[in-house]
Amino acid sequence: MKPKRVLVKFSGEALAGSSGFGIEPEVIKYIAGEIKSLAIAGVETGIVIGGGNIIRGVSASQGGIIKRTSGDHMGMLATVINAIALKEALEHFGLNVRVQSAIKMEAICETFIMGRAIRHLQKGRAVIFAAGTGNPFFTTDTAATLRAVEIEADMIIKATKVNGVYDKDPNKFEGAKLLSTLSYDDALRDDIKVMDDTSIALAKDNKLPIVVCNMFEPGNLAKIIVDGDLSGCSIVK
Ligand code: UDP
């Protein structure tokens, strides 16, 4: 059955494309095109985008000058930069979009208000949730799961560069098998790398299914979400 409302999470790293840093216009255009197909199908779409293409708190604080908390603030601001870029790209495709930030910056975008976000979604606007949870020591995976639970999304889609969760590292082991379904406990026990433990635990507590899929396969998001065809990806539930 086609879900009514979803939350799609992209990592910031994906935006960098081949250059490895910043925002590659072709990539953001591609992502916007994939999201557009959901909007056309009438799926209410929330989006969280990471900031790893610009800066992460952990790496910023490695030199011993920048405190981890400050580094995390920088990382959260990086997600706002990406959110603004994605908003522009989505608007280019004719979508109505709002950015809501967990950290107040009213000259740039709305502040996150759950009820208002839901109203936007009901009116057919895509909502990009920026600035993570607004707190250091978290990731945008956790922010995405939190927002998904708050807006009562039917599922969270972790759109990555791999097809899903494998029984062993496919980069290291030939014959690694893609797992079509695994439980939250399996995911936590096996320490899967595609989602962090905090986000999986939050999803488990709220029975929120996590779909892990390849974002670089054109049409994959629509195939999974609109057509309900989960072949070639993994679901944690
Ligand atoms: N971050 C944070 N709190 C949050 C979400 C993110 O402090 O709730 C910071 C953290 O430093 C993180 C950075 O923002 O490294 C960028 O987010 P993330 O690493 O999740 O981005 P992604 O890997 O998805 O690109």
Q: From the CB of residue 129, how many other CB atoms can be counted at a distance below 10 Å?
A: 29
Cα of 147 to ligand 1 centre, how many Å? Answer: 14
* CATH number assigned to the domain comprising residue 45: 3.40.1160.10
What is the token pair recorded at 9? 């999470």
Give the SS3 label for residue 83: helix
- Count of structural domains within the chain: 1
Nearest to 120 by CA among 144, 150, 94, 151: 151
- Give residue 24 CA to ligand 1 midpoint distance, Å: 19
- Coil/strand/helix, residue 30: helix
pLDDT tens string 144-198: 999 999 999 999 999 999 999 999 888 889 899 999 999 999 999 998 888 999 9
Domain that holds residue 222: 5-236
Q: Is the CB of 147 under 6 A from ligand 1?
A: no
- pLDDT tens, position by position, 104-119: 999 999 999 999 999 9
pTM equals: 0.97
